[in-house]
A = this chain, B = another copy of it.
């Protein structure tokens, strides 16, 4: 292509079945293009209130501090960890993939005293091991874990892990980037104190926003910090003056108006479908995919009990050129699937059936294309 830098950009049409972004519905794309209004406009304040209510439903929480951080999921991770943890605080991070590793990096930069508990990639966080680790070290104040590991396709048991944390009186930080909208999240019931997600997985909005929620106990803890949160932008007490302000809203930053239109429409569609129906649709697409792959002699990485319906890791058949298959799927068939990360690089493909992508017809499209590519 002989492009001039000032030519309009026209993206190709891809079927997004990788680890994210997921396909975005035309209605959500259309919402992005609605006219921009001001971030202090009374109409916009109404939108923010509705977003908060819909996110509370999504997370099954009454947390007042439920809002959207103006950056992608990684910023949500920064926001949760850097608000909760102060320099010297001891945090236990249960790790079973890339995003648990990243939590360690984020907490360490925040000056935390990080204790790690590692599980084999492709397996779930074991609540009994967490119990043992917390029993051994009474100085631990926080437990962080990833509910749905995007790097491996594993779902950990939020309730069981939350119960262990409750028993030891530690506060819980949970990554729900890939779980929200695809499997149930019961933030209040599980006793989660801080959680974050992303918009580009099972919510099927474009990437760029990170819904978060903090329990009243977490907020109280943050208000009583000895030191200020390291990032002014991420300081929840400041952000809440804008998102949660009763009566007057204090200007903090300029909210990403059009992106929030898109998220509103995506959440609206999800709640109109119903969360249970969405979960069932994810399961159905997942089962259809697994059946199709197994019929072709392929093997899943993760044991059935902790498989994540929305993120499927399948072992790459022996003798198959990983990169070539993914490239041909993308460039010839316009289908994106994901590569393995870290120790799983070259060993698995990551097939996302997230949000709008979680449909059996998309699975059929992928399997048909995969047959062609593998035969070529």
Which residues from chain A sit less than 8 Å from chain B, CB to CB? 1, 3, 5-14, 16, 18, 20-21, 23-24, 29-39, 41-44, 46-47, 50, 53-54, 70-75, 77-78, 82, 102, 105-106, 109-110, 198, 200, 206-208, 228-234, 251-259, 261-262, 264-265, 268, 271-272, 330-331, 336, 341
Q: Are A72 and B254 in contact (CB under 8 A)?
A: yes
Q: List 6 A-B contacts (CB under 8 A).
A: A18-B38, A70-B208, A109-B230, A208-B255, A230-B231, A231-B231
Q: Are A336 and B272 in contact (CB under 8 A)?
A: no
Q: Are B29 and A109 in contact (CB under 8 A)?
A: no
Q: Which residues of B contact A72 (CB under 8 A)?
A: 70, 253-256
CB-CB nearest in chain B for A23: B36
A146 → B minimal CB distance (Å): 15
Q: Are B102 and A43 in contact (CB under 8 A)?
A: no
Q: Which residues of B contact A11 (CB under 8 A)?
A: 34-37, 41, 43-44, 47, 261
Q: Which residues of B contact A271 (CB under 8 A)?
A: 5-6
Q: Given A255-B207, A259-B259, are A33 and B33 neighbors across the interface (CB < 8 Å)?
A: yes
Q: Which residues of B contact A16 (CB under 8 A)?
A: 36-38
Complex: A31 Cα to B10 Cα, angstroms = 8
Q: Given known contacts A73-B254, A231-B234, what 15 new A-B pairs fall within 8 Å (CB)?
A: A3-B50, A5-B54, A11-B34, A11-B41, A11-B44, A14-B37, A29-B258, A30-B33, A36-B207, A39-B207, A75-B75, A102-B232, A109-B229, A208-B257, A208-B258
Q: Are B35 and A13 in contact (CB under 8 A)?
A: yes
Most buried by B among A77, A106, A254, A268: A254
CB < 8 Å neighbour of A207 from B1, B6, B256: B256
A297 → B minimal CB distance (Å): 28
A342 → B minimal CB distance (Å): 11
Q: Are A262 and B253 in contact (CB under 8 A)?
A: no
CB-CB nearest in chain B for A200: B254
Q: Are A105 and B8 in contact (CB under 8 A)?
A: no
CB < 8 Å neighbour of A8 from B12, B102, B229, B268: B268
Complex: A90 Cα to B264 Cα, angstroms = 44
Complex: A200 Cα to B207 Cα, angstroms = 19
Q: Are B105 and A232 in contact (CB under 8 A)?
A: yes
Q: Which residues of B contact A54 (CB under 8 A)?
A: 5-6
Complex: A44 Cα to B16 Cα, angstroms = 14
Q: Which residues of B contact A231 (CB under 8 A)?
A: 78, 82, 106, 109, 230-231, 234
